[in-house]
Amino acid sequence: MRTVARADADLPDIFNQRIQLAKNEWKWGHLNNNALIFLCCLAKAGFSPILEFGTFTGRTAYNLALNAATKVYTVDIGRNVDACSNAAGVTYPEYIPGELFLDDPELGDKIELIVGDSMTLDFSRFYGAMGMVIVDGGHSMRWPNRIPRMLFAWFGLEA
C-alpha cells in the first residue's frame, strides 16, 4: 500500500469517471458535494469493497453503492450522540440510519448497515478485504486513537 497526501493529485484521471449521483439533497451532517463526487469517482475506479464509518441518512453510502462494483458496508451508532463534538458544535437533524437506502429495491442488498458503536464493534471480518475505508463517524477525541491500528489491519499490513 502507498500512502499519499492527496489522492486526487496521485490519481490524475480520477475525476474522469462516469459516475451516477442520486438522492443528493444536502442537510447538516452530510459530506459536502465535492467530497461525495471524489469518493464516488474512487468507487467507480475500483476502490471497493467500501467500509464507511458514519452512515447518518445514508446519502454517501447510497451514492457509493450506485458506483461501486462490490458491496458497501456502513456503520452508525443509530442516534444523535455527536452534538457538541463536531467542529461547529451543531447537532445533526433527527435521522434513521440509512433511511435513504433501507427500502430501495435496487441498492438495498448492495449496502450492509451495521448499527453499533464504532469504538467497540469488532471489525476483524473486514481486515485485509477493503478497497476503501471512509472515516466520517464519531468525532470524539477517543476515536482517532483506534484508527491507525485498524487501518493497518484493514489493508492487510503489520502495525
Ligand X SMILES: C[S@@+](CC[C@H](N)C(=O)[O-])C[C@H]1O[C@@H](n2cnc3c(N)ncnc32)[C@H](O)[C@@H]1O
Nearer of residues 117 and 156 to ligand X, judged by Cβ: 117
Task: Report in angstroms how near the CB of residue 44 gets to ligand X at its nearest.
Answer: 17
Alpha-carbon distance of 144 to 48, in angstroms, equals 23
Chain residue at closest Cβ approach to ligand X: 138
Task: Report in angstroms how near the CB of residue 3 gets to ligand X at its nearest.
Answer: 22
Nearer of residues 90 and 157 to ligand X, judged by Cβ: 90
Task: Report in angstroms how near the CB of residue 158 gets to ligand X at its nearest.
Answer: 26
Nearer of residues 67 and 118 to ligand X, judged by Cβ: 118
Task: Report in angstroms how near the CB of residue 46 gets to ligand X at its nearest.
Answer: 21
Residue of 72, 66, 31 whose CA lies nearest to 48:
72
Give the binding site for ligand X (CB under 6 A): 29-31, 52, 54-56, 59-60, 75-77, 80-82, 92, 117-119, 136-138
Nearer of residues 49 and 54 to ligand X, judged by Cβ: 54
Write out the DSSP string of 75-106: EE-SS---TTTSTT--PPPP--TTTTTTT-TT
